[in-house]
Amino acid sequence: MKPSIRLRLERLRDRLEEVGRALADPGVMGKNNEFRDLSMEFARLDPTVRQFEEFRRLEAELAAANELANDSEPEMRAMGFDEAKRLSERLAAQEAALRHALIPVDPRDSRNVFLEVRAGTGGDEAALFAGDLLRMYSRYAERRGWAVETISETPGEKGGYREVITRISGANVFARLKLESGTHRVQRVPDTEAQGRIHTSACTVAILPEMEEVGTVELNPADLRVDTFRASGAGGQHVNKTDSAIRITHIPSGIVVECQDERSQHKNRSRAMSLLRARLQAAEQEKHDAAEARERKLQVGSGDRSERIRTYNFPQGRVTDHRINLTLYQLANVIEGDIDPLIDPLLQEYQAERLDEEA
């Protein structure tokens, strides 16, 4: 174990003891807010400190086993060797668990998200690829029991989307999808290509965590321009005959959001405001991340939407994530929503990076 990590764990142990003494203080018991905060801190620290104590116990046992492995008696040496091997494996697993426990918790991990997919370079083929990406994420959401709602969409002329925005809700959505933001590139032969040439197109994906509290991002009504319009529909008895769709422009930033999925103007306005807050918060987060990136190198990438993060090569059946140099020849499965083999290594790298930052 790195000395820096051991030092952090020792400090957590000392802090737990300090909190425990405070909780036993009659003066603190009478202060509801302070007692509650200390109780929550104790509950958060206690499991990690217990793991650290178990790690130290295993270290002591391993030292004893190694000493036994140097005994003059062959039988004792064999016994010590076997015990040392077993304890080394347990110690390694315990250290990995402790490293994971030390990773700072992202308070946004439990939030729902807005998924935005926009066609980039490539014309009609980019729009078709945007449709493929939306389907991929929708299938993934289905696998995890998440709900997907369309907020707004602009169809492509030959299928797919020029732009589509959905809301994905469920357990730990942002935790799983937060590293999907960026430019996704596709290499394949379009159906309209008579010569059989491979074309390269791109789409941008943005994952925006939904704000939990309405007041988290303050909005001045004077900074907003709200327009209503008639939502587009396929016709028939359910076509929207009222101006229920909402477009909100945040004048200082120039950010424009729309919602036309609901028939209720009130619901569309509420959803559009939520999306606007998410975009404003994401813009602030990008500024913060950019400032941090100047101080250190991000192994996993900045998550900036202009950054190429992944290539989907259909002729070779492969998908490559450029941030961690991971290539999988499982493109058919990935497009069908089986993206955990991409997400899991990314999250492991991200967590390792965050731990190194804290060390």
State the CATH number of the domain containing residue 230: 3.30.70.1660
Q: Evaluate whether residue 304 is within a structural domain.
A: yes
Q: Evaluate whether residue 106 is within a structural domain.
A: no
| Residue where a domain stops, chosen among 40, 72, 101 | 101
CA distance 181 to 226: 28
- At 27 the pLDDT is 84
Examine the domain organization and report whether 83 and 131 are in the same domain. Answer: no
Examine the domain organization and report whether 141 and 254 are in the same domain. Answer: yes
Q: Evaluate whether residue 75 is within a structural domain.
A: yes
- Asked if 272 contacts 321 with a C-beta cutoff of 8 angstroms, the reply is no
Q: What is the average pLDDT across 224-246?
A: 66
Higher-pLDDT residue of 276 and 320 is 320
CA distance 124 to 116: 18
- At 212 the pLDDT is 62
Q: How far is CA 326 from CA 137, 195, 228, 355, in A?
A: 19, 31, 46, 21
Q: Evaluate whether residue 293 is within a structural domain.
A: yes
Angle formed by the axes of helices 32-68 and 74-101, nearest 10°: 150
Domain count within the chain: 2
Examine the domain organization and report whether 191 and 48 are in the same domain. Answer: no
Predicted TM-score of the model (pTM): 0.65
| Residue where a domain stops, chosen among 68, 101, 134 | 101
| Residue where a domain stops, chosen among 101, 132, 156 | 101
- Token pair of 337 as six digits: 């929503």
Examine the domain organization and report whether 184 and 93 are in the same domain. Answer: no
Q: Is the dihedral of CA 289, 293, 296, 302 positive or negative?
A: positive
- Who contacts 295 (Cβ-Cβ below 8 Å, separation ≥6)? none
CA distance 88 to 119: 51
Range of the domain at 128: 113-358
Examine the domain organization and report whether 162 and 310 are in the same domain. Answer: yes
Indicate which CATH number applies to the domain containing 82: 1.20.58
Q: Evaluate whether residue 236 is within a structural domain.
A: yes
Which pLDDT tens digit goes with each residue over 137-190? 999 999 999 999 998 899 999 999 999 999 999 999 999 999 999 999 999 998
Examine the domain organization and report whether 97 and 153 are in the same domain. Answer: no
Q: Evaluate whether residue 239 is within a structural domain.
A: yes
On the question of pLDDT at 216 being above 80, the answer is no
Q: Evaluate whether residue 108 is within a structural domain.
A: no
CA distance 149 to 262: 10
Q: Evaluate whether residue 107 is within a structural domain.
A: no
Examine the domain organization and report whether 79 and 214 are in the same domain. Answer: no
- At 297 the pLDDT is 40
Examine the domain organization and report whether 91 and 141 are in the same domain. Answer: no
Which pLDDT tens digit goes with each residue over 104-124? 777 888 899 999 999 998 889
Residue with tokens 């569309």: 268
Examine the domain organization and report whether 87 and 212 are in the same domain. Answer: no
- Token pair of 175 as six digits: 């935790």
CA distance 162 to 129: 10
- At 339 the pLDDT is 97
Give the HSE-up count for residue 50: Cα atoms under 13 Å, Cβ half-sphere. Answer: 6
Q: How far is CA 47 from CA 12, 101, 102, 156, 224, in A?
A: 11, 9, 11, 52, 47
Q: Could you report how far apart the first and last alpha carbons of the chain are, in Å?
A: 11
CA distance 80 to 188: 59
Which pLDDT tens digit goes with each residue over 255-290? 988 888 767 788 888 888 888 888 888 887 777 666
Examine the domain organization and report whether 133 and 159 are in the same domain. Answer: yes
Q: Is the dihedral of CA 257, 263, 264, 267 positive or negative?
A: negative
3 state DSSP class of 301: coil
Q: pLDDT band for 239, please (50, 70, 90 cuts).
A: very low
Examine the domain organization and report whether 299 and 179 are in the same domain. Answer: yes
Examine the domain organization and report whether 121 and 73 are in the same domain. Answer: no
